[in-house]
Amino acid sequence: MGGAFQTSREIFNNPIWQDVIKFRLFFYIVGNAVFSDEGVKQGNILIKRGQFLRSYRNLAADLEYLDNKSLKKYSISVIKKKVDQLVKEERLEIEETELGTLFTVVNYAMYQGFEHYKKQNREQSENGSRTVREQSENNNNVNKDNKDLSNDDDVLEEPKQQSSFEQELIAKYMQLAAIPGFDIPEYQKTAVRQVVESGILPVDAMKYLEECFQEYKPKHSRDKINSFGYCATVILNKHAQAQAPQNPQARRGYGKKPIRQEHIPEWFDKKQEVEESPEVIEARKAEMEEMLKQFRR
């Protein structure tokens, strides 16, 4: 098969780049998929644009590799496992036919459509023209700039590379959100870096990300999580809650007003003696004597 096919530079920052077998398999299928809009007829099967008809056994032979001066093949079970992963990641769709497995590249136009690259090429062309003009304007100040740079250690910085944590977080998000392709937009990566730089452990970030999708309650059939920014808020909130100090006693008494305790003097409960007047005493004495007289009768 002659000709050529396009590949975006975004592939170098995608997790599939780190899986050699999956990478080779996927791009072998993309590179051999039918490009024409009319499709290709093979037997009684019409292979449409973005489709490739091949058996697993032939794929294993196609992906032969040299190891210690000898040709080796991946097992059919390994090929099947990687295909299942690509289907789960929504990069491929498969259909069994009498002539083999029909592979369909999901969003084939995004990989091989020229419109996807026109904007990038136009921006690169504009940036290139601007760079030439800026270089011409700055040539007169080269010596001065070099002198200043010798005394300033903060002027030149190495470009930031994506960490493995960041790549794994993006890959997990794309899997949970069922996002095809190789990467997310650059503006969403800002939220990813905020999570990475928060000090959260990768295992906790992955756990909270899964909980974010599990706990999300869509309002209708088309409602879904469309941005990592939403997930970042959930992850950081859960991380903050996990880091907050736990005080069961304080939490149990929360919201209740304290009860004031009064200290009562010891003499309060003692009966106070009442002093009686002589007249009262004489009256009681007379009453008792009268009662005794009646009793004796």
Quote the domain boundaries for residue 235. Answer: 164-243
Residue 253 domain-assigned (yes or no) = no
Are 95 and 169 found together in one domain?
Answer: no
Residue 279 domain-assigned (yes or no) = no
pTM of whole model > 0.85?
A: no
Closest CA to 225 of 236, 242, 211, 206: 211
For β-strands 40-42 and 100-105, DSSP reports them as: unpaired
Are 177 and 108 found together in one domain?
Answer: no
Closest CA to 104 of 50, 162, 30: 50
Residue 217 domain-assigned (yes or no) = yes
Residue 211 domain-assigned (yes or no) = yes
pLDDT in tens, the chain (297 residues): 555 556 666 667 777 888 899 999 998 998 899 888 888 988 889 999 999 999 999 999 999 988 887 889 999 999 999 999 999 999 999 999 998 999 999 988 877 655 544 555 555 555 555 555 555 555 555 455 554 544 444 433 444 555 788 888 998 998 898 887 777 888 888 899 999 999 999 999 999 999 999 999 988 888 889 899 999 999 999 999 998 876 555 455 555 566 666 666 665 555 555 556 777 778 778 888 877 777 776
Residue 267 · residue 273 · CB < 8 Å: no
Sign, CA dihedral 199-205-211-217, equals positive
What's the domain count of the chain?
2
Are 98 and 13 found together in one domain?
Answer: yes
CATH number at 36 reads 1.10.10
Residue 249 domain-assigned (yes or no) = no
Residue 178 domain-assigned (yes or no) = yes
Residue 257 domain-assigned (yes or no) = no
Mark which of 112, 132, 148 sits at the end of a domain. Answer: 112
> How many helical (H) and strand (E) elements, i.e. helices and strands, does the chain have?
12, 7
Residue 269 domain-assigned (yes or no) = no
Are 90 and 182 found together in one domain?
Answer: no
